[in-house]
Structure 1
Amino acid sequence: MDYELTTVDESFEIEPLTLWQSQCFISENPYHALLKQELINRVYQDAQSSDVDVKSDVALGAKLNLQESELDFLDTDDANIQTLNSFLSELIITVAAETNQGFWPEDADVAATIIESWYHITQNGGYHDAHSHPNCSWCGIYYLDPGDADYSKKSGVNRFYDPRVNADHYLDAGSQYLNSTGIWDIEPVEGQVIIFPSYLKHSALPYFGQSDRVVIAFNARVDFI
C-alpha cells in the first residue's frame, strides 16, 4: 500500500526542510581528448623515475598495489598540465560560487588555488581505503583512464560515505529511509571530474583489471581576492 502525506485541514500544514546537504558535482573535461595521451605520458615518466610506489609517503597502510606521485603533480610549467590546472581551478570557482550563494557578498571576487595534486596508477587488486582530505575546502578526482573499472562489480569505483555519523544508530519503520543510503558509489567515466567537499570520507574500492586505472586527484582552497 502506498502512503501519501496529506494536509489534514487548511490550518494544519507541514513544511519539509532539507538540512546539512553534502553537495557533490560531476563535470567533464572538455580538453580530455587533446590532453589525455600527454598527461598519461607524464604520469608514467614520473612513476618510472622513482624506486618507491607511494612517493608522497602518505597513508601507506591504506593503499595497496598503486603508485602515487608527490603532492605537486600539477605544479609545473608543462603546458598540458597547466591547461588542466586552469580548467580544474575554474571548475572549483564555479562549484564554490554555486554552493555559497547567499553566503558571499554580492560583489565577491575569488580565486581557487590547487594546493595539492597527485596521480594514482592502480593495478590489479589495488585500492585506497576510506579517508578524507584536511587543509582544503574542495577536492576532486579526474578519471584520466579508468582502465577496466566495472561499476556492476564495484571494481575500481569511488565510494562516498554518509557524514551523518550516528544516522543509523537506531532503525525502525520510521527510519527506513536511512537504509541503503549510507554509501554512494560513483562510476569511473573517462574524462569526468568529481568535485566534493573535503570533509566527505571516500575510498577507491578494490580494482580488478589487466589495464591500469589512472586518476589525477587534487585539493583546492578558495580565497577572496
Structure 2
Amino acid sequence: MSKKAETKANSNIHNLWPTPILRKKFPQHRQVNPQLAKLFYEHRRTNDKVNGPVYSSTDDLLLRYNEPALNQLFKFISDSVFEIASAVNATFWEYSRSKKMHMNVVGAWFQIQNGYGFHETHNHGNCSWSGVYYVQVDDQETRESHEALGPMNGVTRFYGHHVDVIGDGYMDSENLYLQSTSFDSKPEEGVLVVFSSHLKHMALPYEGKKDRIIVSFNAQVHGDKGDELFSYNFF
C-alpha cells in the first residue's frame, strides 16, 4: 500500500526530549574582540611560546585576568546561559524551593587554531551548560573558499544523541529522519553558541588568513536554596 507523505503538523505526535542550542551575536563584539585577541596572543607569547596548529590555554582565564573586555563578554555569556536555561527549565523551576538562580563559571579558556588544526569529538563534564564564542576567524566567503576544506572549514559540529546507536540499525524510507545526526555551527566573529554540556561536538580542521580564536566555558546553575526538586521520601 502506498500513501502520500503528510507535511502538516499532527497533534497525535509528540516530539519529546528536544536538544536546545542557543546561537546569538554579541552586540559589542566589534569593540571587544580585538582587545580579547590582543590579550590571548600576549598570553600565549609570555606563558608558553607555542605556535602549533592548536593552542589551548588553561581553564582559569577568569582567575588570571580582570580585563574589561573579558568581563563584558562574560556578562553577555551569563545573560545568554540564563536565557536558554530559563526557557527549557521554566516548568520545573516553578516547583523549586529556590526563588533565585545563580550561574557559576567553573572553567573558561581560549584556543587559537590554524594550519589544519582541529579538536576531536568530546563533551564536557562537571557542568550543565557549555559554550563557544568566536573571537576571530576569516569572513564566510574567504573561509568557505578554501580549496580543500570548503564550507566545513573551521565549523563547530554537534552530534545528536542517537548517533551512536544507528550504525547497525535498519534504514528505510520510514526512518530517514534518523540520518540527520549533526548540526554545524558556522564560525562567525561575535557569535556565541550555548549548548548542553553532554552533547558530543568537535571543531573541524581550519586553515585561514586569520587565526580561528575562540573562548570556551563551562557553567553550572544552582538555586539559592539548593537544587533538590523532588522528595525521595516514600514514608
- TM-score (ref. length: structure 1): 0.85
1:51-130 map, 5 Å:
51=48, 53=50, 65-75=53-63, 76-105=65-94, 108-130=99-121
Identify the residue that residue 133 of structure 1 maps to in structure 2: 124
User: What are the Cα deviations for residues 53-95 of structure 1, in whole angstroms up to 9, with x where unaligned?
Assistant: 49xxxxxxxxx71111110113332222111122211211121
The structure with the largest helix share of the pair is: 2
Q: Which amino acid aligns with 1:89?
A: S
Q: Percent same amino acid among aligned pairs? A: 29
**CA shift for structure 1 position 5:** 7.2
Structure 2: gaps spanning 5 or more residues: 225-235
Which residue, out of 35, 39, 43, partners 2:40? 43
**CA shift for structure 1 position 153:** 2.7
Q: Is the 1:124–1:210 Cα contact (8 Å) retained in structure 2?
A: no
Q: Which amino acid aligns with 1:102?
A: T
Identify the residue that residue 13 of structure 2 maps to in structure 1: 16
Identify the residue that residue 203 of structure 1 maps to in structure 2: 202
Q: Which amino acid aligns with 2:74?
A: N
User: What are the Cα deviations for residues 80-119 of structure 1, in whole angstroms up to 9, with x where unaligned?
Assistant: 2111122211211121101102010267311111111111
Q: Distance in 1 between matches of 2:7 and 2:183?
A: 27
Q: Distance in 1 between matches of 2:6 and 2:117?
A: 46
Aligned to 2:153, what secondary structure does the other structure show?
coil
- Aligned pairs, number: 209
Q: Distance in 2 between matches of 1:88 and 1:81?
A: 10
Identify the residue that residue 153 of structure 1 maps to in structure 2: 151
Over the aligned positions, Cα root-mean-square deviation in angstroms equals 2.3
Q: Is the 1:132–1:199 Cα contact (8 Å) retained in structure 2?
A: yes
**CA shift for structure 1 position 52:** 6.1
Q: Distance in 2 between matches of 1:222 and 1:213?
A: 29
Structure 1: gaps spanning 5 or more residues: 7-12, 55-63
Aligned to 2:91, what secondary structure does the other structure show?
coil
Identify the residue that residue 172 of structure 2 maps to in structure 1: 172
**CA shift for structure 1 position 174:** 1.8
The structure showing larger relative contact order (alpha-carbon pairs under 8 Å, at least 6 residues apart) is 2
Aligned to 1:27, what secondary structure does the other structure show?
strand
